């Protein structure tokens, strides 16, 4: 009996994905370079994620080889390649990790329909299977706190057994397939960004250890500070399945960290579960607001505003720092994401879907569920979202969570010499201080693109009218 283990990019680890352990030592390990992700024009649109994925794929392939096996990479559409490959090698089943996203669910339906053998989909991406946390009346939760309480009463995914230490090399002669080496970034038409986190299980495991040994002990306080490395930076590792969330959960919950720190971190992992569950139950959230009242909201169509926000030229330092951190490093601090997305949807009144897709283009951890829910949260139209009438003040947020302006100064070097007192509102600085710091508003750094107070009032008035 031969089993194909089909890796699909959200499961790039060898130990503990149920599919690998389940398939056994003589399985054939397959990765399909589907043009949906790997056509150069597509890959270039998500280059940071592809770079991270390629690192991870290379390490996975090397590890399979070290254990005597081989990761077979084939170019082509998954729904054509997998059924054909399975037939050619005489496989009796294909096992893979289930995806929550509609694009993956549809792909799997097509693949299953084209095969005469079973496509066995196993859990492995969440702590509990999406769609299983239910209220007493059996309905999905639309609010985080009761979801969190209910999830914590449930049995969490068991850590599956480790993969075999030795694989049997696949004795298959594969003709008629477009076999390929793992592509290089250059072959996909872009160059590596040295500022992106390194992918692969070893780097991810090191990040987990460094977090527990370091910032985890003051996570509650430091996680909101944009000027500190106070969070785990595990989001891309989780997204690409380098670490099973259960492994992270156990590492933190079984550590000797103070209980409130453990619980605060666990809450964040549960936010991800909440997002996955919501997407599972309501796949349409990827194109429409979670709250129907937001349908037809009068967003503003303004390319100049959009470009200024994307390029970090709005004149609001925290918002601009977030925009530039994103492009340069593929990451944005969570607090800065919230402020930038709030500014985008409320001060600039741009459709949250435009911001969401820009983030998907550049984030290394860009994740359909969490990114969509993050944007809908900020706009006010999502599940358990920030109420629409609550509007972040970017200056207050900056002063509170970046008190010395170090985050801003790191990403907006034009303001590096400005007195920290004015770094979050340079237009309030006396002319002399601006001159000493080499800041010429409107020349070296833009004037605010909109007036905070006016933009706030306009949004509130438009939103109130729309909601009534």
Residues that bind ligand FAD (CB under 6 A): 223, 231-235, 238-239, 268-269, 271-272, 275, 334, 337-338, 341, 359, 363, 365-367, 370-371, 374-375, 378
Please, which residue, 145 or 187, has the CB nearer to ligand FAD? Answer: 145
Please, which residue, 197 or 429, has the CB nearer to ligand FAD? Answer: 197
- CA 51 to CA 364: how far, in whole Å? 8
CB of 234 to ligand FAD, least distance (A): 4
CB of 9 to ligand FAD, least distance (A): 15
CB of 113 to ligand FAD, least distance (A): 31
CB of 360 to ligand FAD, least distance (A): 7
- CA 87 to CA 452: how far, in whole Å? 62
CB of 276 to ligand FAD, least distance (A): 9
CA distances in angstroms from 226 to 40, 309, 322, 407, listed in the order given? 34, 19, 10, 6
| Tokens representing residue 123 in the block | 């859990």
Please, which residue, 392 or 422, has the CB nearer to ligand FAD? Answer: 392
Nearest CA among 30, 8, 38 for reference residue 88? 30
Please, which residue, 59 or 224, has the CB nearer to ligand FAD? Answer: 224
Please, which residue, 246 or 272, has the CB nearer to ligand FAD? Answer: 272
Instruction: Indicate the burial class of 291 (C-beta count within 10 angstroms; 0-12, 13-18, 19 or more).
Output: middle
- CA 322 to CA 88: how far, in whole Å? 49
CB of 264 to ligand FAD, least distance (A): 9
CA distances in angstroms from 340 to 67, 323, 391, listed in the order given? 46, 8, 11
Please, which residue, 235 or 313, has the CB nearer to ligand FAD? Answer: 235
Asked if 425 and 395 touch (Cβ cutoff 8 Å), the reply is yes
CB of 211 to ligand FAD, least distance (A): 7
Instruction: Indicate the burial class of 263 (C-beta count within 10 angstroms; 0-12, 13-18, 19 or more).
Output: middle
E-only strand ranges, 47-106: 71-75, 93-97
Please, which residue, 117 or 360, has the CB nearer to ligand FAD? Answer: 360
Asked if 215 and 229 touch (Cβ cutoff 8 Å), the reply is yes
Nearest CA among 312, 306, 376, 368 for reference residue 338? 376
CB of 341 to ligand FAD, least distance (A): 4
Please, which residue, 20 or 279, has the CB nearer to ligand FAD? Answer: 279
Please, which residue, 29 or 310, has the CB nearer to ligand FAD? Answer: 310
CB of 306 to ligand FAD, least distance (A): 16
CB of 239 to ligand FAD, least distance (A): 6
Asked if 171 and 91 touch (Cβ cutoff 8 Å), the reply is no
Asked if 8 and 98 touch (Cβ cutoff 8 Å), the reply is no
CA 247 to chain centre: 18
Please, which residue, 100 or 275, has the CB nearer to ligand FAD? Answer: 275
**Phi-psi region at 5: left, alpha or beta (left = phi > 0; alpha = psi -120 to 50):** beta
299-313 burial code (b ≥16 CB/10 A, e <16):
beeeeebbebbbebb
403-433 burial code (b ≥16 CB/10 A, e <16):
eebbbbbebbebbeebeeebbbbbeebeeeb
Question: In the bound complex, which residue of the shown chain has the CB atom lying closest to ligand FAD?
Answer: 374
């Amino acid at each position: 009996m031969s089993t194909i283990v089909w890796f699909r990019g959200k499961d790039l680890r060898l130990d503990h994905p149920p599919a690998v352990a389940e398939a056994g030592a003589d399985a054939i390990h397959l990765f399909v370079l589907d043009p949906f992700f790997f056509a150069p024009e597509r890959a270039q649109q998500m280059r940071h994620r592809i770079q991270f994925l390629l690192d991870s794929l290379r390490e996975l392939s090397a590890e399979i080889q070290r254990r005597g096996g081989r990761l077979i990479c084939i170019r082509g559409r998954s729904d054509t390649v997998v059924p054909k490959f399975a037939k050619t090698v005489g496989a009796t089943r294909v096992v893979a990790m289930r995806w929550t996203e509609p694009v993956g669910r549809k792909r799997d339906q097509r693949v299953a329909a084209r095969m005469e053998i079973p496509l066995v989909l196993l859990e492995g991406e969440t702590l509990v299977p999406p769609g299983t946390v239910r209220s007493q009346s059996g309905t999905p939760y639309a609010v985080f706190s009761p979801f969190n309480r209910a999830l914590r009463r449930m049995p969490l995914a068991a850590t599956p057994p480790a993969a075999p230490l030795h694989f049997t090399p696949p004795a298959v002669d594969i003709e008629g397939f477009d076999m390929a080496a793992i592509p290089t970034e250059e072959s996909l038409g872009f160059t590596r960004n040295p500022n992106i986190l390194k992918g692969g299980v070893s780097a991810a495991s090191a990040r987990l250890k460094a977090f527990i040994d370091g910032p985890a002990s003051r996570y509650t306080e430091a996680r909101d500070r944009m000027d500190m490395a106070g969070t785990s930076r595990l989001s891309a590792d989780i997204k690409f399945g380098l670490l099973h969330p259960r492994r992270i959960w156990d590492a933190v919950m079984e550590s000797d960290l103070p209980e409130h720190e453990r619980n605060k971190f666990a809450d964040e992992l549960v936010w991800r579960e909440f997002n996955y569950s919501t997407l599972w139950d309501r796949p349409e959230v990827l194109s429409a607001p979670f709250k129907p009242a937001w349908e037809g909201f009068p967003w503003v169509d303004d390319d100049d505003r959009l470009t200024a926000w994307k390029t970090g030229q709005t004149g609001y330092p925290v918002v601009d720092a977030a925009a530039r951190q994103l492009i340069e490093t593929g990451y944005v601090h969570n607090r800065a994401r919230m402020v930038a997305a709030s500014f985008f949807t409320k001060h600039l009144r741009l459709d949250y879907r435009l911001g969401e897709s820009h983030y998907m283009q550049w984030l290394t951890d860009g994740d359909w569920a969490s990114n969509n829910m993050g944007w809908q949260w900020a706009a006010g139209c999502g599940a358990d979202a920030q109420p629409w009438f609550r509007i972040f003040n970017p200056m207050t947020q900056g002063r509170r969570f970046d008190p010395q302006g170090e985050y801003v100064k790191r990403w907006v070097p034009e303001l590096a010499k400005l007195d920290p007192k004015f770094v979050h509102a340079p237009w309030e600085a006396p002319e002399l201080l601006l001159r000493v710091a080499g800041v010429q508003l409107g020349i070296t750094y833009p004037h605010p693109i909109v007036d905070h107070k006016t933009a706030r009032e306009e949004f509130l008035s438009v939103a109130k009218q729309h909601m009534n």
